[in-house]
């Protein structure tokens, strides 16, 4: 087992830690993944022949959930600052806050999806808006859920002494993932919600007959 003696040293010939490089490379690929989902949603915008579209988005509720996710990002860096300074109490408190805020965000998303399905009959099979919007925000919600599980596991590991000031990089890497989830939502909130829903009610009345005429059924 002599060859395993250097396994704890993750520095490479680049001088950078390979775990952190891997996380940034993963985030770079995930950017393209979400770019595809957001781009597809935008391209198919206003091309529905039937069913609800952006006029059903609730901006006040989503602004609150956006605020909650932003504050979870703040809590994440405060948790990281805590463990880097050896303050395990601060680290555990703020990590728990991140998990709670993330769960609240998921709760908002479940409320929104339920509201769409029950009151507006919107499912991924209803129309193009339903397909692209629910897949995009659903994948984002899945990322948030994975982040919550990851951070809970780190929190529990810290009580067992497996996470401490000496290996705070593990918290930093989980934090990078969490902030990434936050910046994806910043884009979705701005581009899909605010720009998408602006004037959507008036537009919905005009667009459906126009789209129907375009395909020769109106």
* Binding region for another protein (CB under 8 A): 9-11, 14-17, 20-21, 24-25, 27-29, 31-32, 35-36, 38-39, 42-43, 45-46, 59-60, 63, 66-67, 70-71, 73-74, 76-78, 81, 84-85, 165-169, 175-176, 179-180, 182-183, 186-187, 189-191, 194-195, 197-199, 203
Nearer to another protein (CB atom), residue 123 or residue 139:
139
CA nearest 137: which of 204, 191, 179?
A: 191
Taking the complex as a whole, how short is the minimal distance between the CB of residue 160 and another protein, in angstroms?
Answer: 19
CB distance 44 to 128 below 8 Å: yes
Q: What is the DSSP string of 171-190?
A: HHHHHHHHHHHHHHHHHIII
Taking the complex as a whole, how short is the minimal distance between the CB of residue 210 and another protein, in angstroms?
Answer: 11
Nearer to another protein (CB atom), residue 117 or residue 195:
195
Nearer to another protein (CB atom), residue 88 or residue 117:
88
Nearer to another protein (CB atom), residue 36 or residue 114:
36
Nearer to another protein (CB atom), residue 190 or residue 218:
190
CA nearest 188: which of 102, 29, 97, 69?
A: 69
Nearer to another protein (CB atom), residue 45 or residue 140:
45
Task: Name the percent of the chain in helix, strand, coil, to the closest 5.
Answer: 80, 0, 20
Taking the complex as a whole, how short is the minimal distance between the CB of residue 38 and another protein, in angstroms?
Answer: 7
At 17 the three-state DSSP class reads strand
Distances (CA, A) of 2 to 35, 84, 166: 45, 31, 23
Taking the complex as a whole, how short is the minimal distance between the CB of residue 121 and another protein, in angstroms?
Answer: 25
C-alpha dihedral sign at 158, 180, 63, 126: negative
Taking the complex as a whole, how short is the minimal distance between the CB of residue 118 and another protein, in angstroms?
Answer: 25
Of the CA atoms within 13 Å of residue 69, those in its CB half-sphere come to 30
Q: How many CB atoms lie within 10 A of CB 173?
A: 19
Distance (Å, whole) CA 155 – CA 17: 23
């Amino acid at each position: 087992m002599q060859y395993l003696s250097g396994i704890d040293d993750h520095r490479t010939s680049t001088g950078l830690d390979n775990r952190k490089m891997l996380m940034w490379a993963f985030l770079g690929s995930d950017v393209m993944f979400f770019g595809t989902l957001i781009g597809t949603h935008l391209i198919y915008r206003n091309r529905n022949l039937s069913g609800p579209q952006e006029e059903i988005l609730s901006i006040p509720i989503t602004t609150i959930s956006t605020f909650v996710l932003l504050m979870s990002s703040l809590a994440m860096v405060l948790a990281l600052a805590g463990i880097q300074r050896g303050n395990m109490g601060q680290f555990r408190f703020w990590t728990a806050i991140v998990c709670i805020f993330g769960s609240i965000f998921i709760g908002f998303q479940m409320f929104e999806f339920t509201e769409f399905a029950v009151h507006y009959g919107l499912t991924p099979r209803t129309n193009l808006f339903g397909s692209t919007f629910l897949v995009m925000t659903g994948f984002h919600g899945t990322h948030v859920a994975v982040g919550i599980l990851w951070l809970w596991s780190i929190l529990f590991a810290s009580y067992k002494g497996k996470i401490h000031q000496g290996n705070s990089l593990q918290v930093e890497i989980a934090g990078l993932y969490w902030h990434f989830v936050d910046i994806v939502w910043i884009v979705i909130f701005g581009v899909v919600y605010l720009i998408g829903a602006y004037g959507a009610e008036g537009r919905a009345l005009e667009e459906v007959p126009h789209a129907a005429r375009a395909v020769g059924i109106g």
